[in-house]
Amino acid sequence: MNVTLAVKQYVSKMIESSGPGMKVLLMDKETTSIVSMVYTQSEILQKEVYLFERIDSQNRENMKHLKAICFLRPTKENVENLIQELHRPKYSVYFIYFSNVISKSEVKALAEADEQEVVAEVQEFYGDFIAVNPHLFSLNLQGVVRGRSWEPTILPRVTQGLTSVLLALKKCPMIRYQLSSDMAKRLAESVKQIITKEYELFDFRKTEVPPLLLILDRSDDAITPLLNQWTYQAMVHELLGLNNNRIDLSRVPGISKDLREVVLSAENDEFYANAFVDNYPQFKKMSGTVSKHVTVVGELSRLVSERQLMEVSEVEQELACQNDHSSAQQNVRRLLQNPRVAELDAVRLVMLYALRYERHSSSMLPSLMDELNRRGVSEKHCKMVQAMIDYGGKRVRGTDLITATDAVAITKQFFKGLKGVENVYTQHQPLLHDTLDQLIKGRLKDSQFPYLGPSSLRDRPQDIIVFIIGGATYEEALTVYNLNRTMPGVRIVLGGTTIHNTKSFLEEVTSAAGLGHGSSRPPTRR
């Protein structure tokens, strides 16, 4: 189960079926991202694709010597653009591929528009998602929640994305969902509906143990996306921002022009899963020849020391994993009074404290909020603390995110290996780790994660696709990567509506609370 490979194979199949000769690749905004995640431009150039164009760009030239390979999402807008294109074709022949199921009526409309008979084929290739790593995919959708319900335009798009992952991986799964989340149940039903309607597409060879799709809700674990990270890919996303594997380095002091934006490819899993703190000297050595990594690592180090992230992270980990209220509140207060701690980090500490100790008999939340006000933290950020409790607090969670055994387990872990920094900064395990561990051992409770429909899995699952509504994180991707490595016979792929860092997660929570008036939302053209 490798999502990167699945999309890659679709793209090479498209290019190969058009035969030899010069080609143009005609895409829309979303399929451009989908393709650019699995192929570099130079790799595609080797396949005789010399031009990349957007279907919605008005000023494309006539180039009758080129064959057009169209890879498009099956939206009304794209079909309309294609119809216009076929009325006045700019290229010699068209190979049309939709990234998802297209209706018969739309195929008929295209056939009617093809008066000059330039269309060689129309097919569905189910690459309707962003393959981030071999075991991680995203739909690049933010602001999916309104209160505790789906943003109406988004549910159909998520259903399409998730069913296309199943089709790309050739899986017709049994479905389990998080009972405490109405959104998880709605998505499970919506996916099931498509599987039933398109049963011929899902008619794959039966395996001894059926695959399993597990649908979860981000609000069950709001702690993981709030923590600072210490593995390379996660740190890059947290501190610099990774968008379709591109890093924006334009704000780095004295950056050279050619390094303002660099691309990191996720083919090399080992590199990404490495702990930055432990391997800092190795990174420096290894990247001696690769200027982009030197630049990235240098900038990460600068930000870590400028924002005192080692100290901040230590307190975050204490909040997430330990059970000493008086020490926790003193440490949070100490950092809130430190002027070098950034506003975002101050707010995230108070949020973690609020999620951890919201029901503690001597909760100091009001006085920590006063500290934020004294620091001059913006009203927007202060309001987010309550929004976070509404989003992921005890009242909402279906499972107990913080268990009483944490302190004991952590002490064990701490003494087990004092070999380096990793224990203090990476004590935290996302809730997903326990959920998957129980699932693999056949102990995940049906009462909390029921099956959709009458049948249930008798054997331990082998192929597992996990999807998190409201976004996954690189820390969870690392958990999946490690489980895949250490659990023989188990293959797990993780997906989410998006891949969060703290900033994007706070936008998600703000828009769910209706505070941000959807400022982070893409235009709803879907």
Judged by average pLDDT, the poorest of 214-218, 369-373, 455-459 is 455-459
Q: Six-digit token pair at 344?
A: 């975002």
CA distance 45 to 23: 10
Tell me the three state secondary structure of residue 133: strand
Predicted TM-score (pTM) of the model is 0.89
How confident is the model over 347-363, as a mean pLDDT?
91
CA distance 483 to 429: 12
Tell me the angle at which helices 309-321 and 291-306 cross, rounded to the nearest 10 degrees: 70
Burial class (CB in 10 A: 0-12, 13-18, 19+), 86: buried
Residue 284: the pLDDT is 52
CA distance 475 to 366: 30
Please say if the pLDDT value at position 521 is more than 60.
no
Q: Are 250 and 299 in contact (CB under 8 A)?
A: no
CA distance 328 to 363: 11
How confident is the model over 125-140, as a mean pLDDT?
94
Judged by average pLDDT, the poorest of 202-206, 391-395, 401-405, 472-476 is 401-405
Angle made by CA atoms 365, 366, 367, in degrees to the nearest 5 = 90
Report the 3 state secondary structure along 392-429.
HCCCCCCCCCCCCCHHHHHHHHHHHCCCCCHHHHCCCC
CA distance 202 to 197: 10
CA distance 271 to 245: 14
- At 336, the pLDDT band (50, 70, 90 cuts) reads very high
Residue 278: the pLDDT is 53
Instruction: Kindly report, residue by residue over 144-203, the tens digit of the pLDDT.
Output: 988 889 988 999 999 999 999 999 999 999 999 999 999 999 999 999 999 999 988 888
Phi, psi at 195, each rounded to 5°? -60, -40
For the chain, give the mean pLDDT.
Answer: 85
Residue 400: the pLDDT is 62
How confident is the model over 4-33, as a mean pLDDT?
92
Residue 385: the pLDDT is 93
Query: Mind giving me the DSSP string for 218-280?
Result: GGG--SGGGS---BHHHHIIIII-EETTEEE-TTSTT--GGGSEEE--TT-HHHHHSBHHHHH
Instruction: Kindly report, residue by residue over 161-172, the tens digit of the pLDDT.
Output: 999 999 999 999
Residue 387: the pLDDT is 92
Smallest CA-to-CA distance from 33 within 15, 13, 52 is with 52
What the chain holds in terms of domains, given with CATH numbers, is 3-126 (3.40.50.2060), 131-221+430-512 (3.40.50.1910), 225-392 (no CATH)
**DSSP secondary structure letter of residue 73:** -
- At 388, the pLDDT band (50, 70, 90 cuts) reads very high
Q: Are 89 and 114 in contact (CB under 8 A)?
A: no
Smallest CA-to-CA distance from 472 within 269, 237, 277 is with 237
CA distance 180 to 397: 7
CA distance 426 to 273: 13
- At 272, the pLDDT band (50, 70, 90 cuts) reads low
CA torsion sign, 322 to 323 to 326 to 329?
Answer: positive
Q: Six-digit token pair at 145?
A: 């929640």
Instruction: Kindly report, residue by residue over 450-464, the tens digit of the pLDDT.
Output: 999 877 777 888 999
How confident is the model over 203-218, as a mean pLDDT?
90
Q: E strands along 11-159, which residues?
A: 23-27, 49-54, 67-72, 93-98, 119-124, 130-133, 136-138, 145-146, 149-150
Q: What's the Rg (C-alpha) of the chain?
A: 24
Burial class (CB in 10 A: 0-12, 13-18, 19+), 12: middle
Residue 283: the pLDDT is 52
CA distance 168 to 161: 10
Among residues of the chain, what percentage have pLDDT more than 70?
87
CA distance 319 to 77: 48
Which is higher by pLDDT, 207 or 425?
207
